[in-house]
Amino acid sequence: MSGVSNDTFGPRSAIVIEVEGLGIEFAGTGGSVRVVDGVSFRIARGEVLALVGESGCGKSLTALSLLGLLPPGARMASGSIRFEGRELARLPPAELREIRGNRIAMVFQEPMTALNPVMTVGAQVAEALRLHAGLGRRAAWRRAAELLAGVGLPDPERRCREYPHQLSGGQRQRVMIAMAVACDPALLIADEPTTALDVTVQAQVFELLRKVTVQRGRSLLLITHDLGIVYENADRVAVMYAGRVVEEARRDALFARPLHPYTQMLLGAIPARSEPGERLAVIPGQVPPPVEWGEGCRFADRCPLAIAECRGERPGLREVDHGRRVACIRAPAAAVGGRTACASSSRAAAATNRLVVEELRVYFPVRDGLFGARLLVRAVDGVDLVVRAGETLALVGESGCGKTTVARAVVGLAPVTAGSIRVDGEEVAGRTCRHVKAVRRRVQMVFQDPASSLDPRMPVGQAIREGMEIHRIGRDAAERRERIAALLDRVGLPKASADRYPHEFSGGQRQRIGIARALAVEPELIICDEATSSLDVSVQAQMLNLLCDLQAERGLSYLFITHDLGVVRHVADRVAVMYLGELVEQGATREVLEAPLHPYTAALIAAVPRIGEGGRRRLVLAGDVPSPIEPPAGCRFHPRCPYAMERCGVEAPPWFGPPAGRRVRCWLHEA
């Protein structure tokens, strides 16, 4: 990706930042707790270093320490941070402020919380220019508009006057990048810059990051859990585990032959690197909390190759090849075993239709301003889909296309404007809960954010029992307790979890609780709405294996809503592609992903980062999804389509292809 040698840093003058032995501690009632322990790395001019690892390993704290932005209670306890030859840890606060935002800048993970909601985006970009570049108010405002234009925001003058809530997620991320590069920093830190963004927006963001950093000789520290992004964008990779770097290598070397068992298992858990029906590699257990870090290797309790020496001796990073380091006493001989087949690898689905949706429309009324005209948001506009017994249908598309609204309409959480929803042949659209109570029991939902879908004041056992009581499952309280204990055991949680509260669990554990709650009422169809999108790759693998096993055991059907096409390839029998309230393509998963017919489907697939295809030119889809209040005439994708014809802007295409097979809505495929 850059012109920097991957084998050596060259002269020390080429080093932009050098971190040696970094230690970070939090003050606690029982004394200080070390959460980052002896981290060392260097980044050369024009280089991209990716810092990867599971949540809680210390990646973000390491990045925040470079800017002197550690949270309250945390302090840098040891080590050195040298930036352009200056020791940052000993700089007075005033001098550090001169560097922060000027020579070192950061793009934060969640732009909605990082941006000030009561300031216009233009004022926020201009603020850095006035502070560090000494520009006057008008000059800073003009420069802010130029920066917003440079990051691809249309009509930058108008955008400058808008507030963060008026922009989409991808647009807010571009504003964050404009703020970060306003003063042309030598080092840009990007902390999970595309988490929860669609692959098309993700491609736009990384194209932009390359443009404003590497192509101009600047350096980038990239923090992410998406290893596909790492492969396509990084020069070198440092893998962190439990506060320490356990492996560091050139990108190609690390992906071709990972040496540390933890790195091997992380790569083995990626759905895109497995075959459909193949069981994903799972890392057992969890990252130990800092208070439980022992003297030996911190990965030993989860490592299938651990020996007695691993628990008694803490391995340091040692060089095993030029420019490659690993912290494992068994490397480079260590090798973790391969995969096995999933229980449901046959993927055979019955002919019975579990769910049939026909001409579904969901419109929401809104007003144009406080006293403006009444408008309609056409969130879902004529969707047809079928989920058969025992199969998985994936529903994919960009944010705002209506996927979640379809799911909420099916379970009765969104009002249906028109159309039909039949579960096992019984109509549920527009009927009251009292009339369809038995049908609703057969369809359950696992939500994207389990923390917000679980009542924080309700113990886990009570949350699971609630649905059982409503639907009268179990003869009495004792039988329900037995069922709850069995459900928790089935999803890999101890029985004692029933008496604990949601905040006492990790994100992956809360997602397991959401699955147990859905299973409690013995459903036939489960809707998974981005159920794995925010999970680490290792936890995601556990969830996908669990869903695969449950489908085999109980004959469950899944409607799987996701923007991760690697997950789609691994779990889905069929896929339906949605754009701006409408379906544009349907078919068997392998057919759709290997030979897409609709230009939008092709753009989605081309935007996915792929391991093993370095240097591949990714298709960056221009523009944003139009407003569902005023969708374009004709084909709704035509304003962004590279193959659009005059007819596309006037006449909406019908479905081409058999209703039960491969079909597409595009004039390019008119018979």
Mean pLDDT of the chain: 87
The answer to whether the beta carbons of residues 410 and 429 sit under 8 Å apart is: no
From the list 330, 255, 348, 376, the residue with the least C-alpha distance to 629 is 376
What is the structure's pLDDT at 282? 83
From the list 279, 169, 257, the residue with the least C-alpha distance to 571 is 279
What is the structure's pLDDT at 10? 45
What is the structure's pLDDT at 153? 81
pLDDT digits (tens, 9 = 90+) for 367-381: 765 566 778 889 999
Burial of 555 (0-12, 13-18, 19+ CB in 10 A): middle
Alpha-carbon distance of 557 to 593, in angstroms, equals 21
Burial of 630 (0-12, 13-18, 19+ CB in 10 A): exposed
What is the structure's pLDDT at 490? 83
Length of the chain: 671
56 vs 572: which has the higher pLDDT? 572
pTM: 0.83
pLDDT digits (tens, 9 = 90+) for 566-605: 899 999 999 999 999 999 999 999 999 999 999 999 999 9
Q: Collapse the DSSP code of 488 into the 3-class scheme (helix H, G, I; strand E, B; otherwise coil) and give the result.
A: helix
What is the structure's pLDDT at 368? 64
What is the structure's pLDDT at 372? 63
Alpha-carbon distance of 226 to 52, in angstroms, equals 8
pLDDT band with cut points at 50, 70 and 90 for residue 349 = low
What is the structure's pLDDT at 245? 96
> What is the separation of C-alpha 245 from the centre of its chain, rounded to a whole number of angstroms?
23
Please provide the DSSP assignment of 133-183 as one string.
Answer: I---HHHHHHHHHHHHHHTT-SSHHHHHTS-GGGS-HHHHHHHHHHHHHTT
pLDDT digits (tens, 9 = 90+) for 179-221: 988 898 999 999 988 765 677 777 878 888 888 888 888 999 9
Alpha-carbon distance of 567 to 229, in angstroms, equals 15
pLDDT digits (tens, 9 = 90+) for 131-175: 888 899 999 999 999 998 888 787 888 889 999 888 877 788 889
Query: CA dihedral in degrees (561, 565, 571, 573; nearest 10)?
Result: 90
- Which amino acid, residue 191? D
Instruction: Report the pLDDT averaged over residues 379-407.
Output: 92
Neighbours of 375 (CB within 10 A): 15
Alpha-carbon distance of 644 to 160, in angstroms, equals 31
Does pLDDT of 345 surpass 50? no
Instruction: Report the pLDDT averaged over residues 531-559.
Output: 86
Q: What are the chain's domains?
A: 353-442+523-669 (3.40.50.300)
β pairing state of 187-191 and 219-223: parallel
Does pLDDT of 17 surpass 80? yes
**3-state DSSP of 278-345:** ECCCCCCCCCCCHHHCCCCCCCHHHCCCCCHHHHHCCCCCEEEECCEEECCCCCCCCCCCCCCECCCC
From the list 183, 178, 187, 182, the residue with the least C-alpha distance to 104 is 187
Within 13 Å and on the Cβ side, how many CA atoms surround 450? 27
What is the structure's pLDDT at 510? 86
